[in-house]
Structure 1
Amino acid sequence: MKKLTVLASFVVAFFMFSCQKESSQEEGTPTEASQKEAWLTANLDAKFAASQKQVTAYLFPTSELAKLVQTPNVTEVRFVLGYADNTLQIQVDGVDKAGKKLGSVNSSLLKESAYDAKLAALKEVSDNTTKKRSALLKKHLLVSKEAFGWIEAWQNKLSTVKDLEEVTSYDGLRIRHFNLEAEVVAAMLKTNTANIGVFLGLNTKGKVTTILVGLDKNNAIKKASLTAKDPDDVYDGTRPSPPY
């Protein structure tokens, strides 16, 4: 009887430990959780605007993104927003159909004050409209000139330090993350694309959104080919949460 009691206690203890471990994996690291919470209550004032205006883009190495989207059962990626040092932070989570996190990639902040000349490549060329793309890619494809306008609009909004709360929220609830099918990211992971640059912009609804642009090793806008003048495909169509 005593042996049975000890065995039962061991089984219960093991079960409790397993549950605690699973729970801690779902919650993520303390730093990650604290940054998410900080973003939801951050004061989007002049100090934030000045700091955020220094951020050109968020860089995600294609080698790490490739591993993420190739992870079994990853169907979507989430661009998760956080807040630290008066600046928006972004990481990419790979999730399954149920929304369970299966992996993540952290970004590095690109701060390049003279980046305007590189960014201008988006508005100086015409997009390749004859290129074959899947229906999903066409759905998320963004005209390069329009992408430039959206990015510029976000920078202008930061300069005015006006309505920042409004453009980062839906119905009074601040955006937590943006969702996008993993297939779109996979299509951008081409040879000689060193990073996927995630730029922030204001869409046609006047809300902040993420714009995905392929960048070369010098973080210049990636061209469709060595001889092409048009940039590689630029994507948006990310679904903000809330409201979706």
Structure 2
Amino acid sequence: MKKAILSVALVTLFFMSSCQKESAQEESKVVTTEQKENWLTATLDSKFASSQKQVTAYLFPADKMEALVKTPNVTTVRFVLGYADHTIQISVTGVDKSGKKLGTVSATVLKESNYSGKLSKLNQLTVSKTNKRTALLNAHSLLPKDAFAGIEAWQQKLSAVTDLEEVTSYEGVRFRYFSLESEVILAMVDSGNTANIGLFLGLNTKGKVTTVLIGLDKNNDIKKTTPTSKEAAAVYDFSEPCPPKGDPANFE
């Protein structure tokens, strides 16, 4: 009887361990100045590619993002890049019109090996460009299928370990951060029952790394306008990289 109980316990432990390996979330930390500097000189080799491929997305809690963009005078958010443990680190900073830093939100790094099934659902979804959207939101709105294609293209670059320096830089200068109007973030968190804003790295139509922002529910599934809808609640891109936009000497 003791052997049987021990066997059941070991099997249970095995499956618990397997589940933990399939989905993990690293502790959220604000990107440090040292990590920002390390990103500028990091060697994007096979070690980087192998480590970065394990990253599914960077999760920003909706409540903290809402508080950030509702901070008085915040007009823009900047997704600031850093580097540690052969992996890109990202946190978001809210700034005013002059570029003054007014607040920061750290990301939780999601590593979920079986997330591709959830992500592929983007190919079955659409997004409305008329339902309560401003001209600015429409300008940043991204078709779900295009979001999927961009994310997959980045993963393919990592798998091949090719052109990584080229796709992460502008004229030889590595991207420091990506800027986006705070109105876009506010629209994402106002859509209801959005638990996280998921930042997925992808490639844009110019073949450069960009930020793909997707509203996620509490299970980190793609948030839809209604449970039975074929419309994604929020899929956005077209953030502006620095360089060429902004001041490359200013990390934030």
Provide the TM-score with structure 1 as the length reference.
0.86
Q: Indicate the SS of the match to 2:206.
A: coil
Note the residue ranges of structure 2 that are not aligned, 5 or more in a row.
1-28, 246-252
What residue in structure 2 maps to residue 81 of structure 1? Answer: 81
CA offsets per residue over residues 67-115 of structure 1, 9 Å max, x none? 1001000000000000001000000000000001000000010100000
Question: Are 1:157 and 2:157 matched, yes or no?
Answer: yes
Q: Measure how far apart 1:30 and its partner are.
A: 10
Q: Indicate the SS of the match to 2:156.
A: helix
CA offsets per residue over residues 31-76 of structure 1, 9 Å max, x none? 7100000000000000000000000000000010011001000000
Q: 1:201 and 1:30 mapped to 2: Cα distance?
A: 22
Q: Measure how far apart 1:229 and its partner are.
A: 2.1
Question: Are 1:203 and 2:204 matched, yes or no?
Answer: yes
**Residues 121 and 231, structure 1, Cα contact 8 Å, conserved in 2:** no
What residue in structure 2 maps to residue 240 of structure 1? Answer: 241
Q: What amino acid maps onto 2:185 in structure 1?
A: V
Greater CA radius of gyration, 1 or 2? Answer: 1
Q: What amino acid maps onto 2:241 in structure 1?
A: P
What residue in structure 2 maps to residue 181 of structure 1? Answer: 181
Q: Indicate the SS of the match to 2:117.
A: helix
What residue in structure 2 maps to residue 11 of structure 1? Answer: none
What residue in structure 2 maps to residue 169 of structure 1? Answer: 169
Q: 2:86 and 2:129 mapped to 1: Cα distance?
A: 40
Q: 1:187 and 1:69 mapped to 2: Cα distance?
A: 10
Q: Measure how far apart 1:228 and its partner are.
A: 1.0
What pairs up with 1:50-199 in 2 under 5 angstroms? Answer: 50-189=50-189, 190-199=191-200
Q: What amino acid maps onto 2:231 in structure 1?
A: D
CA spacing shift, 1:31–1:194, aligned 2, 3 Å:
closer
What residue in structure 1 maps to residue 215 of structure 2? Answer: 214
Q: 1:147 and 1:191 mapped to 2: Cα distance?
A: 21
Note the residue ranges of structure 1 that are not aligned, 5 or more in a row.
1-28
Q: 2:206 and 2:117 mapped to 1: Cα distance?
A: 27
**Residues 56 and 110, structure 2, Cα contact 8 Å, conserved in 1:** yes
**Residues 223 and 232, structure 1, Cα contact 8 Å, conserved in 2:** yes
What residue in structure 1 maps to residue 227 of structure 2? Answer: 226
Q: 1:243 and 1:40 mapped to 2: Cα distance?
A: 15
Q: Measure how far apart 1:237 and its partner are.
A: 1.0
Q: 1:236 and 1:209 mapped to 2: Cα distance?
A: 7
Q: Indicate the SS of the match to 2:124.
A: coil
> Which 4+ residue blocks in structure 1 deviate beyond 3 angstroms?
none
What residue in structure 2 maps to residue 7 of structure 1? Answer: none
Alignment identity in percent?
Answer: 62
Aligned CA-pair RMSD:
1.4
CA offsets per residue over residues 150-170 of structure 1, 9 Å max, x none? 000000000000010000000
CA spacing shift, 1:205–1:31, aligned 2, 3 Å:
closer
